[in-house]
């Protein structure tokens, strides 16, 4: 079974400055020496802004084209979320969209389901209602965005997922929640979990400590970093994951239920 190399990029984000952020991440990506997946934070080109009318792009826009170029240049999948135009017939025609792009240009997307009510994200963005399951290099991967992490029913491993990815702008004042919930999702879903968060202050003077992390299928912390910019590549083992699942088939005993 093939191991998978994943690279987490934890960084500050310059508020609503797409050009600066893309240039910065491009330098980070060029410094990576071989990987399978590159993970960027939530709204990595702008920060977590509630001004989508000023910042939204299309899936043919500059940021997505940049992601395609980075994926091709590094021969790695690249992912993170962007502010993207949604259904124009909806009251809020924008989405917080996770975008996954492979080296061959293939794109898959997931729209954030749990919109952060404390900053009225639901008054600026449409809610997504569909999960995304990605098949890549014989791994099954499922992405989520920030606030989704708090809701285990939505994040439940119903598709034999090997790796869950969470991209975020998660404030430092709730960092214990972030770390605890990432670990919990790994344990309950018997899968690897990678969480990539930003650092620094946003334009609302909210500080982010990062705490980007990787946990294994048993909840063991494999990597974490706080407060500093960091590019970190780690290899995860599908053989070890399936050996653990064979010995502890917890997912086989899960209850069946459906969302109403």
What CATH number is given to the structural domain containing 186?
3.60.110.10
Q: Tell whether 137 is covered by a domain.
A: yes
**Strand-pair category, 107-111 with 134-136:** unpaired
Q: Is the pLDDT of residue 96 over 90?
A: yes
Q: Which residues are catalytic?
A: 42, 112, 146
Q: Is pLDDT larger for residue 195 or for residue 255? A: 195
pLDDT band (50, 70, 90) for residue 256: confident
Give the mean model confidence (pLDDT) for residues 45-49: 98
The pLDDT tens digits for 18-45 are 999 999 999 999 999 999 999 999 999 9
Cβ neighbours around 253 below 10 Å, total: 6
Can you give the pLDDT at residue 259?
60
Half-sphere exposure of 259 (CA within 13 A, CB side): 11
Q: Tell whether 66 is covered by a domain.
A: yes
Q: How many domains, in total, are found in the chain?
A: 1
Could you give the CA distance from residue 36 to residue 55 in angstroms, rounded to a whole number? Answer: 29
Q: Is the pLDDT of residue 76 over 70?
A: yes
Q: Tell whether 71 is covered by a domain.
A: yes
Can you give the pLDDT at residue 241?
98
The pLDDT tens digits for 176-221 are 999 999 999 999 999 999 999 999 999 999 999 999 999 999 999 9
**Strand-pair category, 230-236 with 4-10:** antiparallel
Q: Tell whether 260 is covered by a domain.
A: no
Q: Copy the structure tokens of residue 222.
A: 């494999």
Q: Is the pLDDT of residue 258 over 90?
A: no
Q: Which domain holds residue 60?
A: 4-253
26, with CB counted inside 10 A (0-12, 13-18, 19+), is middle
Taking the whole predicted model, whether its pTM rises above 0.95 is answered as yes
pLDDT band (50, 70, 90) for residue 174: very high
Give the mean model confidence (pLDDT) for residues 49-61: 97
Average pLDDT, the chain: 96
Q: Taking the alpha carbons of 153, 158, 163, 167 in that order, is the dihedral positive or negative?
A: negative
Give the mean model confidence (pLDDT) for residues 74-85: 98
Could you give the CA distance from residue 34 to residue 121 in angstroms, rounded to a whole number? Answer: 36
Q: State phi, psi for 71 to the nearest 5 degrees.
A: -65, -40
Q: Tell whether 152 is covered by a domain.
A: yes
pLDDT band (50, 70, 90) for residue 260: low
Q: Copy the structure tokens of residue 152.
A: 């285990």
């Amino acid at each position: 079974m093939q191991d998978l190399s994943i690279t987490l990029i934890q960084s500050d984000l310059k508020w609503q400055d797409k050009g600066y952020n893309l240039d910065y991440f491009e330098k980070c990506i060029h410094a990576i020496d071989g990987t399978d997946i590159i993970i960027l934070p939530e709204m990595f080109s702008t920060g977590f802004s509630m001004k989508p009318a000023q910042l939204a792009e299309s899936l043919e826009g500059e940021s997505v084209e940049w992601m395609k170029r980075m994926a091709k240049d590094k021969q790695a999948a690249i992912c993170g979320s962007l502010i993207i135009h949604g259904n124009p017939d909806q009251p809020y025609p924008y989405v917080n969209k996770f975008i996954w792009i492979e080296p061959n240009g293939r794109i898959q997307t997931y729209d954030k389901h749990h919109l952060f009510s404390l900053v009225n994200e639901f008054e600026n963005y449409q809610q997504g209602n569909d999960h995304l399951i990605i098949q890549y290099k014989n791994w099954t991967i499922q992405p989520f965005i920030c606030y989704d992490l708090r809701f285990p029913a939505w994040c439940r491993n119903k598709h034999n997922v090997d790796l869950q990815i969470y991209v975020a702008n998660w404030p430092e004042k709730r960092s214990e929640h972030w770390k605890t919930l990432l670990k919990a999702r790994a344990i309950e879903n018997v899968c690897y979990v990678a969480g990539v968060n930003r650092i620094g202050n946003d334009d609302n003077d909210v500080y982010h400590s990062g705490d980007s992390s990787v946990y294994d299928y048993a909840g063991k912390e494999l990597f974490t970093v706080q407060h500093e910019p960091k590019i970190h590549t780690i290899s995860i083992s599908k053989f070890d994951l399936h050996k653990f699942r064979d010995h502890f088939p917890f997912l086989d005993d899960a209850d069946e239920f459906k969302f109403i």
